[in-house]
Structure 1
Amino acid sequence: MTSDHDRRSALGVLAAAATTAFFPAKALAMTQTDPIAETRLGKVRGMRQGDVISFRGIRYARAERFMPPVAPDPWTSILDATGFGASAPQSNPAPPPGPPYVILAQIPRPAGAPPPPPPLPESEDCLFLNVWTSGLNDGRKRPVMVSLHGGFFYGRSGSSVDGSKLAARGDVVFVSLNHRLNAFGYAHLAELDGTDFAQSGNAGMLDIIAALEWVRDNIENFGGDPARVMVFGTSGGGMKTTFLMASPRAQGLIHRAGVQSGPALRFIEPDAAAEATERLLHALDIPKADWRRLSAIPVTQLLAGYHAVATAQPPRNFAHLPHFAPVLDPVLLPAHPFSPDAAPCTRDIPMLIGSNGQEMSFFWGNDPAAFTLDEDGLATRARAFLGDRTDAVLALYRQAYPAATPSRRYLQLFSDYSIQAPVIAQAERKQGAPAWLYRLDYQSPALGGKLGALHTLETPFILNTVGSARPLVGEGDDPVTLARKMSDAWVSFAATGDPNGSNTGLPHWPAYERGQHATMLLDRTCHVENDPARMARKALADLVEG
C-alpha cells in the first residue's frame, strides 16, 4: 500500500490544477483606469477581470531562512500587483519513478481544453498574497474569506486557488497566500539554538499570522471588513486553520474557521521535531556540531534532504505529523488544539467542519489493485490499522453496505478511519462557539464513478468554480445548483458566523451537539440527518490519535 507521505506529496502537485480554475497573470498596459489600492506601506496596481478586481503578488512580509517574518520596507511608487509571486520551495530534486499518486491525473482533459499553465517559479522569497474584490473605495465593508492552501505542510501554493467567482458576487473579499513549507517552514532548530532560531519550527505558521495581520491592517482599503475574517481551507489548509485557532498570537485575527477534510488534533511534539532535524542533518551529511550550515546550503540541497527524511519517515495515518509541521510551543502554540480537549483559544471561534464521503480514492493513482480487491485483500489491508478488531468491523461494514464490492467497502472504511472519524472527534470536542458539521456525498462521475465523493471534491462547489471542474463534477445543472448552495452557505458563515442564510437554498442547518450529531448531507438533494456516521463514530472513535 502506498505510504501516506507519498500520497501527500502527490496532492501538492496535482490537486489544485484539477479542482480549481487557474488564471495566469496577464501583462497589461497600465492606464489611468487601472485599479489602484492603498496599503499602509504604499500603493499597488491591480487588474480587472470582468466584474472582479484582482491584486496578485502583494508582498506581506520578508524573511531570512528559518527566521520569523518581518514587515517589508515601504515604497513610494505604485507597485505592480498583476502577477502571482513565487511559490515556496517544495519540488523534489530527484522525484521517484512511477505514476502520480493522485488519481486526478488520470481524469481525461476535455477536448479542446487549453493546456495547464506552467508551474510558477519557486523561491525562498515567497511571502506574497492575492486579493480578489468587487469594489474599491465604495463605502462597503464585505466579509473576508482567507484561503489557506492544501498540500499539508509540504507543498502547493495560494496562487492555485481561484477566488474570482466568490468575489464577483460582490459580497466577499477573497484572499489567498503563500507561506514557507517543509524544512524551510518547520525545521525545529530550537533544541540547537534557543535564541536566534527559537521559532524556526513554526516559521510557516508565523508567516500565515503575518499575512492575517496584513489583512487586519489593509483589507478595508480593498472593500473588506477586518472584523469579519473567515480563515478556511481543505486538507492541509484545514489543518493550518485549526492550528491557528489554538495560537494566542492569532487571536483577534480569525473570527470564523472553516475546516474541510483537514482534521487536526495535535501539533508535533518538540522532541519528535528535534529528531526530524537530526534526520535532516544526517541525510545531508552535516555533523550536528555544524548544523548552522543549514542556513547557507543551496535550496535544492535542503529540499533533497527534506524529501529523503519524509520518504523514510512516513506518517502513520492522515492526521499524524511525524516531521516538519507546527511544533508545540509555550508561547506561539501552547496547547494542542483539540487534544485531549479544545484549547482555550478555540472557544470563541465558530467552526464549519466536515469531510467527503469517500475521501481516500483521491490517493490511489498508483494503486489500481485497490479498486479490484476481493474479500481477502480487503481484510489484509484493513488489518493494517484495525488489528485484532478487523473481523468485527468488517462485519459491520458488510451489513451496512450489502451491495458494495469489497473495494468499495474498503474505500468507505479507509475514508471513515482516515478522515471522517477524526473530523467527528474534532466536532465533539469543540466548546464555546458552535460548530456546524457537514458531509459531501455527491458522487463524482469521473472514471466510471469509482471515485465516489473523493478528497478535494468540495473545492469547486465552495469556490463556485464547477465550470472549470466539469470532468470531476459532471455536466448538467446539478453541480451548478449544489455549488450555489454550498458557496452561499460558506459566504453566509463568513458574514455572520452561521451557515444558515436566507438565500442558500439549504434546509435549516442545526449546530452540532453531542447526542444529536446533526450533519448536513450535501448532494443532489441536501438534507440534515442526525448521526449519519454512527457506525464509524462508534467503531473507529478509539482509533483516533489524540
Structure 2
Amino acid sequence: MMRRTFITSAAAAAAAAVLPGTATAGAAPASGGRTVTAIESGFVRGTRDQGVSVFRGLPYAAPPVGELRFASPRPAEPWRGVRDATAFGAPSLQGDYLPDSSEDSLFANVWTPGVRGRRPVIVYIHGGGWFLGAGSEPDYDGARLAARGDVVVVNFNYRLGALGWGLHPDLADPETGHSADWGLQDQAALVQWVRRNAPSFGGDPDNITLCGTSAGGSSTWQLALLPEVRRSIRRIVPISAKHVWTPASSMDPDESAAVYAAIAAELGTTVRGLREVPADRLKAAWEGVFSGPPGERAFRGGREYQGPVVDGHWMTGHDHALPTPDLPSMPVYARTEGSFFTTGPGYPYDGPMPGDEQELREKVREVLLKGAVEVADSDVEDCLDAYREAADADGLPADPVSLWTEIWGDGLFRYQILRLAERHAREGGAPQYLMEFAHPVKAPNSGTPHEATSKFLFGTHRLPGNSGDYGDGPLERTVSDTFIDLVSSFARDGSPSSPGAPEWPVFEPGSDTAMILGGEDVARVASPPKQRQLGYWDEAGWVPVP
C-alpha cells in the first residue's frame, strides 16, 4: 500500500508538470492536444482530436513471457510518472498478417468523448480465427463509434494460436490451477480491468456491453456464460459468431494435450519445457501441425480453426450444448457470411472459384471436410441438391460460386447463429434483438461478407483501403450511422433505436421481428430470409443442432 501511494503521488506530480495548472487527472485540452488521466497502474497521456480522447497501448496485464507463458494473466506492474499512451502496443504473436507481433502484447486501447462523465462502455473483441488480428487494426478504430454513440469504446489484444487456445495439464498455473484457454483468460481479465478503470475514461463501470466479431463474437458468448464475467457485464452483441464445436473449430481435451506433447517432442523438450522454447519456433511447430488439408493431418480436431477447448472451467461445454447467456443480447449475422471466403474482397481466399459442376463438387467437399472427418460422395450430392432446391424455390442464384458461398457461410456461421437465436427466444428469459446485416459490397465483389459488419459499426468503411469495396457514399454513411445508433442505444439502456430505423421488436421466430440493415431502404423489420437453406443442416448431422 505504501509503495502504491508513493507511485501515485509521483505520477500526480508528473502530470501537473505536463499540464500546468492541472491538479487532478482527467483534463481534456482542445482539439489536437493531449489528455492525461489516472488508471490503477499510474497516469497515462493520450491524444485528443475532433472531440475524442484516445489512449493506446495500455497494459491491462503483465507480459505473458518467460515463466508467465501459459500462465493465467497477472496484474500489470504500476509505473512512475506519466506513461505515453499515444501509440498502439504490439499485436499478439502471429504470422505475417500483422508485422512486429510479440508475446508481450496484452494491451488495451480506449476511445472516449471525455474522461469525465458516466457513459456506457462497449468492449470490442477482435476476430481472426483465434490465430491472428489485433485491436490496433484500422478497421476497429473506435473514434466514430465513441463520438456518435457518446460511449466509451475499448478494444484490446489477447493471446493467439499455441499461446492462447489449447489445453494440457502439465501447463497448469501454480497459482490458479488453470491449464487451458489462456486467450479467454486474457479476455476475462480485460473485462475486470475495464470495470475497475472505466471511471478514469468517463465510463460507467456498471454498464459494460461486450461486443465482438467472428472468433470475437464467439468469445463474447462464452464470456457471458462465466459467472466471474457475467457479474461485470450488462449486455452482449455477438456479431457473426463462429460458435465453437468439434472437430470444426476446437479439439477435445485429450487431443489438445496430444498436440502439445507432439510439439514438445518435435522441439526436443517436455510440455513444461515449452515455456523456454523461442516463441517463433513454438508458433511454427503449432502451425505445422495444422497445415495442409484437414484430412491429411495427424490430428482430427481443429479442422478449420483452433479455438477454445472444453476444460470444465473456462469452457464447460460447446455453445450448442449449453444454455444461451441470460443477458440482453443483439446477435448479428451477415447476409452472405461465406462471400468473405469465396467472392471477395479477396482475403482470406484468393481462388480459384468453381466454374463447373465438377469443380463445385470438389469445393463443397472441401467445405464439408472442415467439419467432418469423413465426407462421402452422397453427402456432397445431398448438400448440393438441398441448396439447389432452396435456390429454385426462393428465386436465389444457383451458379457454382453462389451455391458454394451459401454452403460455406451457412454451415460454419449462419446456421448456428439463427438456431441459437430461435432457441433463446423459446427458452431464454432475457430480451434478444436479431439483426441481419445486408449491405452489399461493391462490384466485382458480391454479397455481404463476413466481417463487413466491423467496417460499418466503426465507420471505417470510409478508409481509403476499404471504400473501394464497401463504399463511402451518403447511403453507406447512413447505414453506418444507423448501425452505430442501434448498438450504442442498446448499450445505453437495452432498447436499440435510431432515427434511420423502424421500431425494433424483441425477436420471435416465424414473425417479422428481425432488423434487416443495409441496402437502399437502410433498415426494415422482417423475418430472417433464406430459412429454407438452413433446413438441410437440421438433418445432415454435420453441424451440431442447438
Q: What TM-score, normalized by structure 2, do the two folds share?
A: 0.81
Distance in 2 (CA, whole Å) between partners of 1:297 and 1:67 is: 15
**For 1:67, which of 53, 67, 71 is the aligned residue?**
71
1:2-59 Cα offsets, whole Å, 9 max, x none, are xxxxxxxxxxxxxxxxxxxxxxxxxxx9664531111122111111122111011111
1:493-518 Cα offsets, whole Å, 9 max, x none, are 1112232x2x3421122222244373
Partner letter of residue 143 of structure 2?
Answer: S
**For 2:329, which of 345, 351, 358 is the aligned residue?**
351
Classify the secondary structure of the residue corresponding to 2:164.
helix
Distance in 2 (CA, whole Å) between partners of 1:417 and 1:43 is: 48
- Which position in structure 2 is the counterpart of 1:295? 275
Alignment of 1:170-189 (within 5 A): 171-189=150-168
Classify the secondary structure of the residue corresponding to 1:373.
coil
**For 2:516, which of 509, 521, 526 is the aligned residue?**
521
For the 8 Å contact 2:129–2:306, the answer to whether it is kept is: no
- Percent of residue pairs identical: 31
For the 8 Å contact 1:173–1:222, the answer to whether it is kept is: yes
For the 8 Å contact 1:86–1:125, the answer to whether it is kept is: yes
Structure 1 residue 467 corresponds to structure 2 residue 462:
yes
Q: Which runs of 5+ in 2 are unaligned?
A: 1-16, 21-28, 369-378
Higher relative contact order (CA 8 A, sep 6+): 1
Distance in 2 (CA, whole Å) between partners of 1:174 and 1:192 is: 34
Q: What TM-score, normalized by structure 1, do the two folds share?
A: 0.81
Distance in 2 (CA, whole Å) between partners of 1:339 and 1:251 is: 19
For the 8 Å contact 1:351–1:434, the answer to whether it is kept is: yes
Distance in 2 (CA, whole Å) between partners of 1:163 and 1:393 is: 39
Distance in 1 (CA, whole Å) between partners of 2:82 and 2:171 is: 43
Residue 268 of structure 1: how far off its partner (Å): 4.5
Structure 1 residue 363 corresponds to structure 2 residue 341:
yes
**For 2:450, which of 451, 455, 468 is the aligned residue?**
455
Partner letter of residue 508 of structure 1?
Answer: E
Distance in 2 (CA, whole Å) between partners of 1:42 and 1:292 is: 34
- Which position in structure 2 is the counterpart of 1:17? none
Residue 68 of structure 1: how far off its partner (Å): 0.8
Distance in 2 (CA, whole Å) between partners of 1:71 and 1:352 is: 31
Q: Which runs of 5+ in 1 are unaligned?
A: 1-28, 93-99, 101-118
Classify the secondary structure of the residue corresponding to 1:71.
coil
Structure 1 residue 207 corresponds to structure 2 residue 201:
no
Classify the secondary structure of the residue corresponding to 1:38.
strand
Change (3 A) 1:313 1:255: farther
For the 8 Å contact 1:55–1:132, the answer to whether it is kept is: yes
- Which position in structure 2 is the counterpart of 1:262? 241
- Which position in structure 2 is the counterpart of 1:10? none
Distance in 2 (CA, whole Å) between partners of 1:302 and 1:403 is: 45
Number of aligned residues: 476
- Which position in structure 2 is the counterpart of 1:109? none
Distance in 1 (CA, whole Å) between partners of 2:328 and 2:538 is: 23
Classify the secondary structure of the residue corresponding to 2:489.
helix
Distance in 1 (CA, whole Å) between partners of 2:53 and 2:416 is: 38
For the 8 Å contact 1:353–1:438, the answer to whether it is kept is: yes
For the 8 Å contact 1:425–1:541, the answer to whether it is kept is: no
Change (3 A) 1:253 1:471: same
Change (3 A) 1:515 1:408: closer
Distance in 2 (CA, whole Å) between partners of 1:433 and 1:245 is: 13
Q: Say what the alpha-carbon RMSD is for the aligned residues.
A: 2.6
Alignment of 1:243-392 (within 5 A): 243-266=222-245, 268-282=251-265, 284-286=266-268, 290-312=270-292, 314=294, 321=302, 324-336=306-318, 338-342=319-323, 346-347=325-326, 349-364=327-342, 365=346, 366-370=349-353, 372-382=354-364, 385=368, 386-387=379-380, 389-390=382-383, 391-392=385-386
**For 1:436, which of 430, 433, 436 is the aligned residue?**
433
Distance in 2 (CA, whole Å) between partners of 1:192 and 1:240 is: 22
Distance in 2 (CA, whole Å) between partners of 1:285 and 1:465 is: 42
1:411-451 Cα offsets, whole Å, 9 max, x none, are 223322232111112212322212221112221114x2x33
